[in-house]
């Protein structure tokens, strides 16, 4: 299953009040394994950057002045996202900005049905705990020493590690049932995932027949073992 973990940086908190998205970072995950494929872009917001926002992500008016408009890069972003579920931390915030930019550029907005919010997962697993990305990375021992300021691609990479941990770690979904539902918490966050049994040709169990010489050699070897547990039964 293909999923996109993403993060955005903006000029403020509300697209309804004129704030704009200035950066997006996305990483691709298939069957909960990062593929190394990513998408990263900066956008000229066509407005000044508030000092408070610049202190968070370090993106200045001068830096963004020669970056493309979102409308000019929207098709490339949509091609990367495809129709995959989209995972974000406090996802309604990021969805709000992406959809505002898409609508402004004349594109269809992204359905909220595709949204997976890692804060919802974290609240179910750790009620009452701090829900920031920093706090949760610390809880799970995820290294963020290289994170000096917020950056969309870096935060998406950290979030991908956190997402795996919130869903049970690398061994999530192990089981012997032919078909199982993966993680009730993911369902609560807006995503249902099924793990199906492998398809293709399955080799039959091979009988291991030994000849008389091999059997005698085995008996001779066993006889040399002192205090063997099978002699007690």
User: Each residue of 46-105: pLDDT tens digit?
Assistant: 999 999 999 999 999 999 999 999 999 999 999 999 999 999 999 999 999 999 999 999
Contact (CB, 8 A) for 177 and 37: no
The rounded distance, in Å, linking the Cα atoms of 49 and 58 is 10
Q: What is the pLDDT of residue 170?
A: 63
pLDDT tens string 176-212? 444 444 444 455 555 444 444 455 555 566 566 778 8
**Token digits of residue 121:** 């997962």
**Token digits of residue 218:** 């085995």
pTM above 0.85, yes or no: no
In this structure, what DSSP letter does residue 128 have? Answer: T
The rounded distance, in Å, linking the Cα atoms of 5 and 91 is 10
Domain count, the chain: 1
Q: What is the pLDDT of residue 100?
A: 98
N-term to C-term CA, the chain: 50
Is 202 a domain residue? Answer: no
Is 223 a domain residue? Answer: no
Contact (CB, 8 A) for 122 and 129: yes
Query: Which amino acids are annotated as binding site for a divalent metal cation, given as ranges?
Result: 7, 9, 155
The residue range of the domain holding 107 is 2-174
Looking at the chain, how many residues does it have?
233
Query: Which amino acids are annotated as binding site for substrate, given as ranges?
Result: 7, 9, 57, 155
**Token digits of residue 31:** 């069957």
Q: What is the pLDDT of residue 28?
A: 98
Which of 107, 126, 150, 218 does the annotation list as catalytic? 150
Q: What is the pLDDT of residue 199?
A: 54
Write the CATH number for 91: 3.30.420.10
Concerning whether 150 is annotated as a catalytic residue, the answer is yes
């Amino acid at each position: 299953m293909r999923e996109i973990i993403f993060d955005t940086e903006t000029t403020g908190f509300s697209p309804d009040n004129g704030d704009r998205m200035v950066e997006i970072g996305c990483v691709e995950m298939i069957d909960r394994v990062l593929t190394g494929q990513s998408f990263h872009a900066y956008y000229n917001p066509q407005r000044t950057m508030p000092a408070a926002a610049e202190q968070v992500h370090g993106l200045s008016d001068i830096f963004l002045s020669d970056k493309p408009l979102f409308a000019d890069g929207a098709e490339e972003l949509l091609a990367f996202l495809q129709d995959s579920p989209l995972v974000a931390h406090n996802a309604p915030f990021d969805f709000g900005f992406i959809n505002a930019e898409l609508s402004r550029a004349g594109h269809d907005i992204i359905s909220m049905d595709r949204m997976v919010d890692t804060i919802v997962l974290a609240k179910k697993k750790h009620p009452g705990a701090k829900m920031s990305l920093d706090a949760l990375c610390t809880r799970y021992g995820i290294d963020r020493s290289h994170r000096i300021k917020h950056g969309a691609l870096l935060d998406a990479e950290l979030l991908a590690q956190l997402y795996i941990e919130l869903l049970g770690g690398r061994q999530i979904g192990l089981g012997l049932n032919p078909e199982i539902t993966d993680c009730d918490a993911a369902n609560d966050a807006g995503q249902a995932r099924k793990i199906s049994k492998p398809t293709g040709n399955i080799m039959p169990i091979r009988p291991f027949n030994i000849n008389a010489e091999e059997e005698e050699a085995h008996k001779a070897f066993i006889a040399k073992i002192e205090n063997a547990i099978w002699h007690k039964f």
